[in-house]
Amino acid sequence: MRQLPLAAAALALAALPPAFGSNYLTGVALSGVVFTVAAAALNLVYGYAGLLSFAQLGFWGIGGYCSALTVTRLGGSFWAGLLVAALVNAAVALAIGLPILRTRRHAFVIITLSFALLCALVARDWVSLTRGPLGIPGLPAPRLFGFGFTTATRFYYLVLAYAVLALGFLYALGGSRIGDTLRAIKQNEPLAQSQGVSPLPYKLAAFALSAVVTGVAGAIYVFYLKVVDPLFLDFYYMQTFLIVVIIGGAGSFWGVVLAGMVMVALPEALRFSNDLRMVIYGAILVVAMLALPRGAAGWFADRRLAALRAALE
Amino acid sequence: MTALLEVDGLAKAYRGVHAVADVSFGVAAGAITGLIGPNGSGKSTTIDCISGFQRPDRGRVTLDGADITGLPPQRIARAGLVRTFQTVRVYDQFDLVANLLVAIEPFRTVGWHDALLRTGRYRAARAAAEARARELLDLVGLTRLAAAPASILSYGQKKLLALAAVLMSKPRLVVLDEPVAGVNPTRINEVAGILRKANEAGVSFLIIEHNVEFITGLCDRVVVFDQGRKLTEGPPAEVHGDPRVLDAYLGIDEHGDHVAEAS
Ligand SMILES: Nc1ncnc2c1ncn2[C@@H]1O[C@H](COP(=O)(O)OP(=O)(O)O)[C@@H](O)[C@H]1O
Ligand SMILES: [Mg+2]
């Protein structure tokens, strides 16, 4: 029963490309699904564990470069590229997570931000590996048993399959005792410790798992773009993930998933006035933040709380 | 009686201020021991050091003979020493049952994969923990609010919830920092009854509290602090008649500087 909403959402998304009948719109939906997965991964560290991690952008970039390099340099398949992306991100997240998760929250934010900037520098300046600003173009369409993911629609279903896997996992994790423990640590870490909870393993697991999910999302997405270059580490991506989490409501799985789809569809829906499109988009964001400071899910939670208080008076 | 908790030569300074200068005392197994003293005399700092939330500069803390000095709080909690906080702490966004389910103790045998896959082992542990949580909520009189988020509780109700949460951990020694400060006076006797009942079931207590009646009625022994040192200790009646103890409280009022509410 608990899986029902997830299955319904997946089916609705699966029906999109035929409904659109347009490569362009299918591409928009595809980006929306990928960004939603990355946002849901950020939600695990930020929404559940309370760790504002800008390292997500770095993991996204590392994932993109790992899969591209595996295919172009090592002659591996796209699938091997995803595996490399997952493993490298897990290793990097554990290596940097262990020291920085011991620091204070402000320090954590700043160090993860520096990490993301460092990744962008490496992508631009380690020319012998990444080809620098030229990037790595001409990434071939992934193939599986002779079937090529050559069209936008086909690639869309590949992305959707990963999204179901990743979101299903994050949903199960967030709803489990592990998710509850992360939320407890976020709300009151000393209290959790006094009840026998070791915060570090939980935070590290959240950090590393979100790195893997984000990295693989990036690894897949570059093959849709057919190119990876330093722009793939542009702050635009981080900003998108963060906006989706904040608008949806940090800590709410469904809030973030719905916000992911809406926030990507919104600029397209606003195409009726091309000049003002991004201005209106920005204005809607500002208004949404003013009206819903804790996101859509937070707004609903506040209403429930008010009703409860009224009932108890 | 053998000492369950032994504190020996404990000292802790904050930026040169000697919060705890040099204190030694013990809590006997099965006892309810009081810890009193004027505000700022180092009581909270002492239990922060005992429970691992502060690292003492000097001294040794042993629990049942095992050295626990400087261990992280969660290790000490798992060893059976569980504390509450003077400024009450609860999970505001969780309902009361969920507040009680964070404790590790009922889930000791449950691994991460059990929790993720909701295996039979996890479900059994969870059902038992939930039953225990409801029992404890009943004990502290919060059953009516079991499904409400803790944020709607009054300060005193939060203290009762924190008390129930401590008992979820099946502790051997409970350290309470002002458990009835802010609790509705009509409920203070009930709290004393709850503590006595837990004590009969084998839980030892170290209780910081300003409420003299509460301490006198409950404790076998009282340790008195003044300015980061142990002033005296003994049975409650004896201690409260001690002119030095009176002096400590009054002297503080004269100087004023120690009266400021310390965390
Ligand atoms: N975290 C801290 N940083 C600096 N000084 C502190 C801190 N905690 C307590 N103190 C100081 O240490 C002294 C003892 O405080 P505390 O242990 O809270 O006393 P009590 O619990 O007996 O009221 C006080 O002078 C207080 O101001
Ligand atoms: Mg105190």
Task: Reply yes or no on whether the pLDDT at A69 is more than 50.
Answer: yes
| Pairing outcome for strands B204-208 and B32-36 | parallel
Percent of chain A with pLDDT over 70: 94
Handedness of CA A29, A33, A38, A42 (dihedral sign): positive
Question: If you measure from the C-alpha of residue B262 to the centroid of ligand 1, how many angstroms do you get, rounded to a whole number?
Answer: 5
* Stretch (H or E) spanning B20: strand B17-28
Give the mean pLDDT of chain B: 89
Contacts of A7 (CB under 8 A, 6+ apart): none
pLDDT of A18: 75
Q: What is the pLDDT averaged over residues B66-93?
A: 95
A1 vs B46, higher pLDDT: B46
Q: Is position A277 within any domain?
A: no
- Which of A178, A301, A305 faces B112 most closely, judged by CB atoms? A178
pLDDT of B199: 94
Closest chain B residue to A310, measured at CA: B152
Determine the 3-state secondary structure of B8 from DSSP.
strand
* Ligand 1 atom with least separation from CA of B225: 22
CB A112 within 8 A of CB A53: yes
The structure tokens 């458990």 sit at B179
**Cβ contact (<8 Å) for B91 and A187?**
yes
Ion ligand 2: protein residues whose beta carbon lies under 5 Å: B 44, 86
Q: pLDDT of B190-205, one tens digit each? A: 899 999 999 999 999 9
Question: If you measure from the C-alpha of residue B226 to the centroid of ligand 2, how many angstroms do you get, rounded to a whole number?
Answer: 12
Closest chain A residue to B153, measured at CA: A309
CB A241 within 8 A of CB A39: yes
CB A184 within 8 A of CB B104: no
Q: pLDDT of B33-45, one tens digit each? A: 999 988 889 999 9
Residue of B12, B15, B17 best suited for mutating to test ligand 1, as the one with most atoms within 8 Å of CB: B17
Determine the 3-state secondary structure of B212 from DSSP.
helix
Q: Is position A312 within any domain?
A: no
Burial class (CB in 10 A: 0-12, 13-18, 19+), B187: middle
pLDDT of B250: 67
Is domain B1-89+169-263 in CATH 3.40.50.300, yes or no? yes
Give the mean pLDDT of chain A: 87
User: Which tokens sit at A214?
Assistant: 């984000």
CB atoms within 10 A of CB B125: 19
* Ligand 1 atom with least separation from CA of B46: 17
Q: Is position A16 within any domain?
A: yes
Ligand nearest to the Cα of B252, by number: 1
Q: What is the pLDDT averaged over residues A182-209?
A: 96
- Ligand 1, atom 6: closest residue by C-alpha: B14
Lowest mean pLDDT among A169-173, A299-303, B46-50, B163-167: A299-303
User: Residue B9's closest CA among B83, B87, B69, B86?
Assistant: B69
Closest chain B residue to A173, measured at CA: B116
Q: Is position A299 within any domain?
A: no
Contacts of B77 in chain A (CB under 8 A): 193-196
Percent of chain B with pLDDT over 70: 94
Cα A240-A241-A246 angle, rounded to 5 deg: 95
pLDDT of B223: 92
Task: Reply yes or no on whether the pLDDT at B208 is more than 80.
Answer: yes
Ligand nearest to the Cα of B54, by number: 1
Contacts of B93 in chain A (CB under 8 A): 183, 187, 301
pLDDT of B258: 45
**Cβ contact (<8 Å) for B112 and A187?**
no
Closest chain B residue to A307, measured at CA: B148
Lowest mean pLDDT among A135-149, A170-184, A266-280, B224-238: A266-280
CB A176 within 8 A of CB B115: yes
pLDDT of A274: 59
* Number of domains forming the structure of chain A: 1
pLDDT of B251: 61
* DSSP label of B256: -
Q: Is position A113 within any domain?
A: yes
* Ligand 1 atom with least separation from CA of B37: 22
CB B31 within 8 A of CB B204: yes
Q: Is position A251 within any domain?
A: no
Lowest mean pLDDT among A92-106, A245-259, A278-292: A278-292
User: Residue A217's closest CA among A80, A85, A88, A110?
Assistant: A85
**Domain containing residue A12:** 4-246
pLDDT of A249: 83
- Ligand 1 binding pocket, CB closer than 6 Å: B 14, 17, 19, 37, 39-45, 262-263
The contact set of B with A (CB < 8 A) is 51-53, 72-74, 77-78, 82-85, 89-94, 98, 101-105, 107, 110, 112, 115-116, 118, 122, 126, 145, 148-149, 151-152, 165, 168-169
pLDDT of A149: 79
CB B236 within 8 A of CB B216: yes
Bridge partner residues of B22 (DSSP): B229
Task: Reply yes or no on whether the pLDDT at B121 is more than 50.
Answer: yes
* Stretch (H or E) spanning B6: strand B3-14
Q: Is position A51 within any domain?
A: yes
Give ranges for CATH 3.40.50.300 in chain B. 1-89+169-263
CB B64 within 8 A of CB B252: no
CA distance B3 to B25: 10
Contacts of B196 (CB under 8 A, 6+ apart): B32, B218
Give the type of residue at A210: S
pTM for this prediction: 0.89
ipTM of the complex: 0.91
